[in-house]
Amino acid sequence: MTQLVSLYVRSVATGFAVAAVFAAGLVWFDVAGIGHLILGSDIGWVAAAMLVVFNGIVFSAVQFAIAIMGLAEDDAPRGGLRDHAELIPIRVEVVAKKRR
Please say if the pLDDT value at position 88 is more than 80.
yes
- The answer, yes or no, to whether residue 79 has pLDDT greater than 90, is no
pLDDT tens per residue across span 25-70: 999 999 999 999 999 999 999 999 999 999 999 999 999 999 999 9
pLDDT score for 28: 96
Instruction: Name the residue ranges covered by the structural domains of the chain.
Output: 3-70
95 or 1, which is more confident? 95
pTM over 0.85: no
Q: For residue 89, with 0-12 CB atoms within 10 Å meaning exposed, 13-18 middle and 19 or more buried, which class applies? A: exposed
pLDDT of residue 18: 97
Give 72's DSSP letter.
Answer: P
Gap between the Cα atoms of 47 and 75, Å rounded:
47
Write down the mean pLDDT value for the chain. 90
